[in-house]
Structure formats: structure tokens, C-alpha cells
Structure 1
């Protein structure tokens, strides 16, 4: 299942409703851990890998790690192949992929990050918080019904970590 939301309250309620206690959850865009705490509390018998590049995240997430031994924080840019590879080498796959890269900004980047990470980790469920993607999905009129029952798109069924995406270089030369 793939769920797209915008409201932070709905996002957090959805996380709480869909995550099971023994799930492996990858959270992309943990920032200072508001949603991470909900995930870590819910997955006491599971594992949480939280990823964020912001300097504000580091100290907050280190404190949360002391509170939740099932939580591992990785400071890194989720647009970089090296960050994805680091997470993939730890867990190979996950049950839930939670993506919150600012909620209302850059639906193209959010979708590309979701697509690459979900293609690699093959989650059962994906939860994406982004206003642009939700607006697009709610506004579309479909002639065809192509859908996936998984948390990743069946059109991306290849395995492993994909090669570096050249498109990210177009958005930010700082990535390379």
C-alpha cells in the first residue's frame, strides 16, 4: 500500500495505525524526531532507521537514540546514492518507508527519492507526506488502472541499489 497525505496530524496518525511492533521502518526526513518518536514507540520489537541531513537533526536524534535502543540515526542526504547504500547495507529491505521531506515542497524531488528508495527497499507500506503529490493524485483523471498493492511501484521491480541519478545533479551541484 502507498498512502499520500499532507497534514502532519494525519501523517502521524497513519504511521501509528499502519506500523506493527516488529516492523523495520525507514524514515526519510526525520528532522528533530517528532514523528520518529511515534515510530520508535510503536516498533519496540522492530527497528527504526531515521535519515536526515539537517544539522538540527543530529543532537535531537542522538537524544532519541538513548531513549529508544531500536532507533538508529544516519545523518545523510537521501538524494545521494551513498546514503541509500549505507541504509541498504544495514537492512536490505524494510516493512514501512515513511517519507517527509518538508511536506509541501518539491513534489518532484519527493517522488524521485520515494521511487528510488522504495525500489531498493521494497516496503510493504509507504507513507509519503507531500502536498504537491497529494494535489496531483487527487486532481488526476485516469483512463487506465495500473496500481500496486505493495509499498513500491511494480514498474520498478529490479533489485539492489540503482545507479547514481544524474537528474539530482541538475537540482544541486553541491551533491557532487
Structure 2
């Protein structure tokens, strides 16, 4: 399931409705851990953020593996993939309302790599697009937390900021 929202409380509520105590979770854009702190400590949590204020606050959460890095970079994705090959939940909150194109690219690459059961995205631009668009009547849906029709397609070469084809990460 893929859930899309903007309000931070709705984002957190959606996450808590879906999370299970033994889930493996990747959180992209954890900032100082406001959402991370709400997750069960029994989960296997990898949280990633590149903001300068994140490191000190995230280090206080002993049950979380924190990586201070840019989620748009191949090296970051590769580092996480070496630790965990899949996840139950992918959480994406990269600024809430900014850059829906970047958020979608990050979702596409990370979700097609880790194939989560659930993805929860917080982004106003994507939500506004979704709520404003009228469908063509064509039926394309995914029941998983990634786009099933593209799960092994890799990354289009025109997305130059991502130097990754998902199949290259297979061990």
C-alpha cells in the first residue's frame, strides 16, 4: 500500500496504523526524529537525513541506525542496501511541501530497490497533484508499497542525479 499525505499528524497516524512491532523500516528525511521517536523500539529502523541538526538528536535514539547522508545519492542507497535487502515500511518526508519531483524520484528508486510492503509519503505537491488529477479510466494500481509494474525496470538514464540501476544492487 502507498499512502500519500501532507499534514504531519496525518502522516504519523498513517504510519502508526500500519507499523508492526517487528517491522524493518527505512525512514528518509527523519530530521531530528519527531516521527522516529513514535515508532516501536522493537522495529529495525534505519533513518537517513542530511541536515546538520539531525546527527546529535538522532544519536540519542540508541535503537535507530542513523545515517547522515543525502538520500538522492547512489552511495547512500548502496550503503543501506548492504545492511538490509528489503523493508516492510518506507517512510518519506523530504521537506513536506517542497520538490514533488525529487520526492517522486526518491520514492521510485528506493521503493523499487527495497520493495516495501507499505510506503508513506508526506509531500504537499504530490498530494495536490493526486487530488487535482482526473484519471483516464485506465487501471494501473499496486497493492504493495512500490510500483509493481516497474519494480525491476531500473532507473531511466535521463534521471542523471541517480547513478543506479536497481538490478546492480543484487548480491
Same fold, TM exceeding 0.5? yes
Specify the alignment match of 1:173 in structure 2.
Answer: none
Once the two structures are TM-superposed, the CA of residue 136 in structure 1 deviates from its matched residue by 0.6
Structure 1 or 2: more helix by fraction: 1
List aligned pairs for 1:75-114, cutoff 5 A: 75-114=68-107
List aligned pairs for 1:1-176, cutoff 5 A: 1-39=1-39, 42=40, 44-65=41-62, 69=63, 71-143=64-136, 144-158=138-152, 166-168=159-161
Once the two structures are TM-superposed, the CA of residue 157 in structure 1 deviates from its matched residue by 1.9
Aligned residues: 161
Distance 1:80-1:8 versus aligned 2 partners, 3 A rule:
same
TM-score (norm 1): 0.86
Partners of 1:25 and 1:4 in 2: how far apart? Answer: 17
User: 1:100, 1:130 within 8 Å by CA — same for their partners in 2?
Assistant: yes
Q: What CA RMSD, in Å, does the superposition of the two structures yield over aligned residues?
A: 1.8
Once the two structures are TM-superposed, the CA of residue 25 in structure 1 deviates from its matched residue by 0.5
Q: Deviations over 1:1-52 (max 9, x none)?
A: 000000001001111111100000000000000001012xx2x332000000
**Which aligned runs of 4 or more in structure 1 are off by greater than 6 angstroms?**
none
> Structure 2 stretches of 5 or more lacking a match?
163-171
> Structure 1 stretches of 5 or more lacking a match?
170-176
